[in-house]
Amino acid sequence: MKQTFLLIMLAVSLGLAAASPAQSGESPSETRLKAAYLYNFAKFIHWPEESFANTESPLIIGVLGATPLAKELPPLTARKVRNRAIEIRQFDKVEEATGCHILYISPSFNKGLRPALEQLSTKPIVTVGDQGNFTALGGVIQFVTRRDRLRFIIHLAVARENSIKIDAQLLSLAVEVVGREK
């Protein structure tokens, strides 16, 4: 019953995006929705225990590159995920981001995307991005717009390679799951 309730709440919170025409830039509501997605992703993802220094260590959500999303994330620090505080960090270099649990890679970092994903490929980090080839290059979650709504694709094989477990409830909400075992 509790899992059903959580699934319904996640679907409602993720579906709150007002339908808006696709634009070259993000609207403020789309940016806020991405922040909500990052928080909700964290509730349905499990990292290996060794990715945290101890039981008191925070869940770190990082942003690599310049993006309006960075301004929408600080309110998440008032929340918790599985009794862990949330900490937000901004990074300019991929080397600085290796201690994150979730890392949003801004489109402004597009020229360095492939090397960044390669560098992070052995870390238990859920990489999230908007770029059209994000999961194809080895990202874990890619934001996409379908029917004027913000949705996401999950690359499950990459997550598994990095010892990250994603709950079935989150997988069921993805518009596509790449690398699912048959």
**pLDDT tens-digit series, residues 52-72:** 999 999 999 999 999 999 999
- 111 — pLDDT class (breaks 50, 70, 90): confident
pLDDT in tens, 113-128: 999 999 999 999 999 9
Name the strand (E) or helix (H) holding 155.
strand 149-155
For the chain, the structural domain boundaries read 2-178
What is the distance between the alpha carbons of residues 99 and 129, in angstroms, rounded to a whole number?
Answer: 18
Q: Is the pLDDT of residue 18 over 90?
A: no
Q: Is the pLDDT of residue 102 over 70?
A: yes
Q: Is the pLDDT of residue 140 over 50?
A: yes
3-state secondary structure of 16: coil
- 109 — pLDDT class (breaks 50, 70, 90): confident
Q: Please give the residue that has the higher pLDDT: either 76 or 23.
A: 76
CATH-assigned architecture of domain 2-178: 3-Layer(aba) Sandwich (3.40)
**pLDDT value of residue 62:** 97
pTM as predicted: 0.85
Torsions phi, psi for 166 (to 5 deg): -115, 125
